[in-house]
Structures are given as C-alpha cells and as structure tokens.
Structure 1
Amino acid sequence: MDASHAVAAAPAAGDTASLSGLKFSKGHGTGNDFVLIADPNGALSLSPEQVAALCDRHRGIGGDGLIRAVPSRLVPEGQELLTVHPDAEWFMDYRNGDGSLSEMCGNGVRVFVHFLIAEGLVNLPAGESLVIGTRGGVKTIVRTAAGYAVDMGPWEFIFPGEATARAMDSLVSAEGLEVARPALSVSMGNPHTVVALAEMAELEATQLFTAPKVDPTPPHGTNVEFVVPSEPLVHEGTGTITMRVHERGVGETQSCGTGACAAAVAIRHWAGQGAPDAWNVHVPGGVVGVKFFVGPEGHEHVELSGPAVIVATGTLS
C-alpha cells in the first residue's frame, strides 16, 4: 500500500500508525527544525493532530514544524499564486508544531528548497534562483556558497500610524522580566512583536516556557522576539543583535528566520537615520544574515541568508 492510500484510510485524526510507509526527511536551519514530506501528486492529507504527533519530540519524529512540498497547481493557495507568478511551481505547505497552519517560515524556506534539491525535484546550481509559493506570498531564493538567500519581500508595521513617529505600539510581559516592556509589531508575511532589552543578563533571565503576553495582540496572534543590541551596535558597516524567540503554536525555538528579519527591522528603526542595511542576528542555533534593499516595485524588501541542513531521511513504521 502506498503512502497516499495509507493516509486516505486513516482511522483516527491523530493516529500516526495510519501513515505507515510515509517517507520523510528531517532538516534544520540554524537549529529551527522541521519534518519534511514530498507530496508531488497532492494526495496527502494530514490532520492537525497528525502533524502535532509527527512533530512531538518524545513520541514522534520531532520538529518545530512540518513542511509538505506540493506542486502549486494542486493546492488552492498555490493556484492563486500561479495566476501572477507562473514560475512558482512548488508550494511550501507549512504547519506549526501544534498542527496549526502558518503563513510561512524564513528558516523553513531555506530548508524547503534544500529538501527539493535533495529529493531531485528541482535543480538549482550555486548562484541561480528559484521561485516558490507560500501562504505568505511568493519567495525568491538564491543558492549561495554558504547556503541560501531568500527575498522575504516587503516588511510593514502591523498597527496603523505614521512609521516615522513610531517608537512602540504594544507592551509585552514575560516571566523573568519584572515589568512589561514596550515593543514594536512588524509583519514579514507573518506577525512579530519585537522587544529590545538592555543587556544579555536580561535576555538570559527571560523565561519562554509560556507565551509572553502582548497588549494589544495583533489580530492573528504573534511571535515575540527579545533582542539585545551589541555594543557597539555597528562594526564595519554591519549591525549585530542577539535574539531569543517564542513562536506561535510552538514555544521557544533555536531560531526564527522571519523573527530575525523583524528584529532587524525594529532595531534599525529605533536606531534612526544612518542605521546600516546589513545585520548579523545571533540566535541560539547560530547566525543568520539580514539585508535591506529596494524591491522592483519600489518598496523596501528584506533578504534573509543562512545555512540549511538535511540530517536524516526515513520511513514511518
């Protein structure tokens, strides 16, 4: 029996035994890890409970999320993107570790493309680019000598108001911080709320076992980044910050690509005129690069760069 038939016959929403025979890979980008599944025929239907079971670190494979690689023409969101971007052949169907749908994931995009290459689904030599579809829109990825660089598209502030006058738009409370801290909410296709802390001791003391409280909360919830600017902030034209993150539907993760971008947006905004366009963002799982540039439509875009690794492949028993 093939994997698609096994899934179609699933007797229970959270029963991973019904997925017996399903091939998977495990990958990560700076410690942000994912279960990856190729579905070239668009035949696989995973319930939120099954996704959560596969991502369970004790009873499943384990991961911050699950990525299904499916042709864009076989999913409604992908079909819509193809009307404008006919070259976005593959769609990144991303789910959070609790099974909920998510717009996209910056680290996940790199791992997704690396997975497509490893599976022989695309050919992408170093220096060439690939366009993919996500629920957060179309993304363009360039394969580099050190990994992948992703055009994450334009960023924007989540709450209305004049950006030039904006210093904060919300307050964030978290265990380990004595008082609520001012924050700025940024959309990278998915929502983020960024808090600046004064020193590393505060960052280390912040407890992220439970979700921080954000007031007001963006309409679809939010990921929360706690950031410490380096001293000096800028060295040889590049800014450096250190970040921890609590992700919606997951908890604290080793890295968050869109969160790194949002953190750089906020710190650059607070730094004011003369702040650099290039940033190194240190996360528990490593370092990612963030760059700002003007996109073809005239809006400022963010590029995220970093490694991607496939650590294992297997078949569900």
Structure 2
Amino acid sequence: MAFTLQFTKGHGTGNDFILYTDPAGEHPLTAEQVRALCDRHTGIGADGVIRAVRSVSIDEGARSLAEDSDAEWFMDYVNADGSPAEMCGNGIRVYARYLIENGLAALAAGETLTIGTRAGVRDVQRTSTGGFQVDLGRWTLDDGEPLVRVKELKVARPGQGISVGNPHIVVALADVDELALADLTYVPRVDPEPEEGANIELVVPRDPLVKDGIGRISMRVHERGSGETLSCGTGVAASALATRHWAGAQAPNNWRVDVPGGTLGVRMFAAEDGEHVALSGPADLVFTGEITLA
C-alpha cells in the first residue's frame, strides 16, 4: 500500500541526505525504498537516508540509552544502497540541525546534544561559525597494510586501516595529479578484502603540510554503500589521523581537510578513556517536500 513520506533534504559539505521523522519507529523504509529515494535520476537523490527515531523505539537505541540516558534521539542512518551504517560524521551534524529546526531538540551555545548511533553515543555542540562539532569518540589504528587498487592508478598502494566507529582505509598519493586521476566511480579493490567492507580515502598532503600549527591535506573518498561522495566526515577524521601517524610525533593535533564539497576541521584531544577525535563543519537543510512510496 502506498504512503506519503514527508522529508527534508540536507547536506554537510556536499555529502547529502534525506531525513524524515518517525518518533515511534513505525515507518522504517525497506532497502528497495531507500535505493529508490536516493537514485539521482528517478528519485530525490542522496548519499543516504536518516530516520529521526526515539532511542526507546528502535532495538539499537536500547544500547544508546544504556550508555547515556540523555540519548533521546537515535540516528538511524542507511546508505544509498539500503545497507545500514554504523556512523556518519557529516550526517550527524545535519541530523542535529534537523532535530533543532524541527523543534525535536534544543542546543544552546556551550551545551551538548547527545545522539545515539550504531557506533555508540555521540555528543554534538555548536561552533562559533554556525556549524556543529561532533565528538567521534575513541579511534583505533588497525594492524596490517592492505593493498588498495584504484582504477586509473597504475599500481596498488598500501593503505592504513583506521576505525572511528566505522571502518576506513586511508591511502597516501604522490600529488594532486594522482588524486584527480583516480576513478572512484569504480569500487576500489582491497587485498585482503575487509569482511564488512570499508570506506576508502585517497589523501595528498598540502605544501607545506603544516601552516600556523594546523595540518593540511586534500582528500577524495569512495564510501561503502554509496560510491564516491563529495565528502565523508568520518573519512576526513580517519585521513587526518592516518596522516598524523605517518608524519610522526611532531605532527599537530589540529587539521584542515579539503574535500570536493568544502572544508572540515579535525581535532584530536585527550579524554578519560583515551584519545578522542572531533569533527567540525557546516550542516545545511536545503528543502522540504513529500513523496509517495509504494
């Protein structure tokens, strides 16, 4: 039976999402419906769908509430291919703005909005530039050195695996010409192939790498389940972490990362449970509408 979906389109540095409200968890979308909505030719077009659902109304939300009882809202994020994702750094900033502008949550300057995700609870704050900063929590550096083959790059490159709640493999390239040459319309091949897949980031350091105490890199990304996107928030954080790891002990903890859709900030800082990484940048809501779904 057909039903009408009220939605909002939003993006963070070009990484775009379809958002809708389902507080009681009564209207989850099928993978087929998600694919239809995200199709850029026959649907609305997006890198993924975010459902605003109360944590008490979704099974995964129980873990969020056990971790932090303030996590009233859960970010049910699904990739464009219909597969659920653990986290989305750009998506959670857009989700925060969506909750606030729809009167579902409040966030004054200096306060924290706590949001449940499949990767755990995440804290969001406003920034002085009008955007949002999200604490992505602890990160981990993976062992091994998988080889990544990207179409139009002549040889496979070693990658650095990093988890920031979801899996990433970061690959350093020689220069911006290589970065532009890479064809990310094809899925990069990884050996050995990760069981759950991974987002693949291609990174080039700026010249100079560090300016005024801030590290600088450029990045492109192929997102698991979505293809190449204009930006990937968790991928930006992973890329900055990998570059700092390669650069050594004197590398800074603050980074500026340029992606095709804009610029994001990354900050590494000490916390009680280990080092955390935070991501900051804009979040915009573009338009609202309705669409009838089969």
What range is the shorter-chain TM-score in?
Answer: over 0.9
Residue correspondence of structure 1 range 36-75 to structure 2 within 5 A: 36-75=19-58
Corresponding position of 1:202: 178
CA distance in 1 between counterparts of 2:13 and 2:40 reads: 18
Give me the whole-angstrom Cα distance separating, in 2, the residues matched to 1:104 and 1:174.
24
Flag structure 2 segments of 5+ consecutive residues without an equivalent: none
**Quick check: which one's strand share is greater?**
2
- Cα distance between partner residues in 2 of 1:129 and 1:55: 31
Partner residue in 2 for 1:242? 218
Q: Deviations over 1:201-254 (max 9, x none)?
A: 000000001110011122210100000001110011100000000001111000
Q: Does 1:283 align with 2:283?
A: no
Tell which structure's C-alpha radius of gyration is larger.
Answer: 1
Decide whether the 8 Å contact of 1:38 with 1:68 is kept in 2. yes
Query: Over residues 165-222 of structure 1, what are the superposed CA-to-partner deviations in whole Å (9 max), with x where a residue is unaligned?
Result: xxx6111101110000111010111000000011000000000011100111222101
Distance in 1 (CA, whole Å) between partners of 2:27 and 2:149 is 40
Q: Any idea what SS the aligned residue of 1:287 has? A: strand
Instruction: Show the 5 A alignment for 1:1-317.
Output: 10=1, 18-20=2-4, 22-146=5-129, 147-159=131-143, 169-297=145-273, 299-317=274-292
Which letter does structure 2 place at the counterpart of 1:310?
L
How high is the TM-score relative to the length of structure 1? 0.90
Deviation at 1:111, TM superposition (A): 0.3
Q: CA deviation at 1:286?
A: 0.1
In 1, distance between residues paired with 2:171 and 2:127?
31
List alignment gaps of at least 5 residues for structure 1: 1-9, 11-17, 160-167
The structure 1 segments of at least 4 consecutive aligned residues displaced by more than 4 Å after TM superposition are: none
> Which secondary structure state, in structure 2, belongs to the residue aligned with residue 82 of structure 1?
helix
Aligned equivalents of 2:139 and 2:193: distance in 1? 18
Distance (whole Å) between structure 2 residues aligned to residue 121 and residue 230 of structure 1? 41
Deviation at 1:295, TM superposition (A): 1.6
Q: State the distance in 2 between where 1:283 and 1:47 align.
A: 31
Distance in structure 2 (CA, Å) of the matches to 1:158 and 1:314: 42
Question: Structure 1 vs Structure 2: percent identity of aligned residues?
Answer: 56
The size of the alignment, in residue pairs, is 291
CA offsets, 1:113-144, max 9 Å, x none?
A: 00001111011123321110000110000012
**1:58, CA displacement in angstroms?**
1.0
1:291 Cα offset (Å): 0.4
2: CA distance between counterparts of 1:281 and 1:85? 31
RMSD: 1.0
| Preserved CA contact (<8 Å) 2:168 2:235 | yes
1:145 Cα deviation after fit = 2.5
For the residues of structure 2 that align with 1:84 and 1:100, how far apart are their CA atoms? 24
Distance 1:75 1:92 in 2: 10
Taking the aligned partners of 1:186 and 1:278, their CA distance within structure 2 comes to: 18
| TM-score of the two chains, using structure 2 as the length reference | 0.97
